[in-house]
Amino acid sequence: MTQALAIQAGVVLFQALAWWLWLHWWPSASPALGVVALVQGVLSAMISFWIGMALWWWLIQLTFPLVVLAAVAVHWPVAVYAGLFSVLWLGYWHTFRTQVPYYPSSPAVWRAVQDCLPAGRPCRAIDLGSGLGGLVLHLARTRSDCRVTGAELAPLPWLTSRLRAMGLPNVFLRRVDYHSLDLGEYDLVFAYLSPAAMPALWRKAQQEMRPGSVLLSYEFVIPDQPADRQIHLPGMHSLLYAWYI
């Protein structure tokens, strides 16, 4: 995000200089704000592409100035912006630090994780970054003999998951940074995080997880640590990876 903001700021300075020179030579041709916003977006997206940022960052860079312009044009009360900011802040919390935003996994993933739970005996499972609690609730409902924990840092998803889990005795939803938890307590550890989080997760798993337990990661691999098993999910491109400890 710092990189994206630095690019936008750099392009603002570049545009200010370019338009100043333009108006100096051709004072009657003042640019429309829409043109300025479009040039801002296109240049920022091109720089993001050039330095190798992910596709979704180019799209954000491209549309951000136009969205700002549109937001100014509709003249909403300040309270609307404050409300939107609060919801985003409570929903995404420390994403700028963790590099792991919220996006949910799907029921196909939940069923595959369920199949990896030890059969025929009570067990303990944890979802690192449990979001709105979809996976945790699914496992708790389908395996009432297992104790299922969700660890979530962001307040709003955590609160939502707590409300959704009311009445389920085998669910434990904690608002906590998973780095502070001991993974040795669990038979199955599930993570749907981001590439940035995987090296540290693997070091933690190696130090703490018990022999016989399994680490699962949906979509994201651990660099230089091939998975013991790759699970294909019906109708989905991304895989579920398993490392047996």
Ligand X SMILES: C[S@@+](CC[C@H](N)C(=O)[O-])C[C@H]1O[C@@H](n2cnc3c(N)ncnc32)[C@H](O)[C@@H]1O
Q: Minimum Å distance from CB 33 to ligand X?
A: 36
| Choices 44-52, 65-73, 79-87, 176-184 (CB under 6 A): range interacting with ligand X | 176-184
192 or 243: CB nearest ligand X: 192
Q: Minimum Å distance from CB 99 to ligand X?
A: 8
Q: Minimum Å distance from CB 139 to ligand X?
A: 11
**Residue 23: how many other CB atoms lie within 10 Å:** 13
Main-chain dihedrals φ then ψ at residue 244, nearest 5 degrees: -90, 125
**Residue 117: how many other CB atoms lie within 10 Å:** 19
Residue located via tokens 């399994």: 214
Q: 67: which 2 tokens?
A: 């969205």
33 or 179: CB nearest ligand X: 179
Residue 203 CB partners (closer than 8 Å, separation 6+): none
Start-to-end Cα distance in the chain = 35
100 or 205: CB nearest ligand X: 100
Q: Looking only at residues 5 through 64 of this chain, which bind ligand X when binding is defined by CB under 6 A? A: none
DSSP element (H, E) containing 158: helix 155-164
Q: Looking only at residues 135 through 164 of this chain, which bind ligand X when binding is defined by CB under 6 A? A: 135, 151-154, 157
| Choices 44-52, 59-67, 131-139, 235-243 (CB under 6 A): range interacting with ligand X | 131-139
Q: Looking only at residues 71 through 110 of this chain, which bind ligand X when binding is defined by CB under 6 A? A: 98, 100, 102-105
Q: Looking only at residues 182 through 241 of this chain, which bind ligand X when binding is defined by CB under 6 A? A: 192-193
With 0-12 CB in 10 A as exposed, 13-18 as middle and 19+ as buried, what is 55? exposed
Q: Minimum Å distance from CB 149 to ligand X?
A: 11
Could you give the CA distance from residue 238 to residue 196 in angstroms, rounded to a whole number?
17
Footprint on this chain of ligand X (rule: CB under 6 A): 98, 100, 102-105, 127, 129-131, 134-135, 151-154, 157, 177-179, 192-193
